[in-house]
Amino acid sequence: MRPRESLSAREGARPDEVRLACPDITEACDLARAFTDLVRHRRGTMLGLWIRKAEQSSLGPIRSFGGFLRQDFDAVAAGLTLPYSSGVVEGHVCRVKLLKRSMYGRFSFALLRARILARPRVKTRA
Would you tell me how many other CB atoms lie within 10 Å of the CB of residue 69?
Answer: 19
Per residue in 19-73, pLDDT (tens digit) is: 778 878 888 988 998 999 999 899 989 999 999 999 999 999 999 999 999 999 9
Q: Residue 17: which region, alpha, beta or left (left: phi > 0; alpha: psi -120 to 50)?
A: alpha
Global pTM reads 0.62
Indicate the SS3 state at residue 1: coil
CA distance between the termini of the chain: 42
Q: Give the integer Cα–Cα distance in Å for 103 and 116.
A: 11
For 22-42, give one letter per residue: b (16+ CB within 10 A) or e.
Answer: eeeeebbeebeeebeebeeee
pLDDT at 76 over 60: yes
Give strand ranges (E) for the chain. none
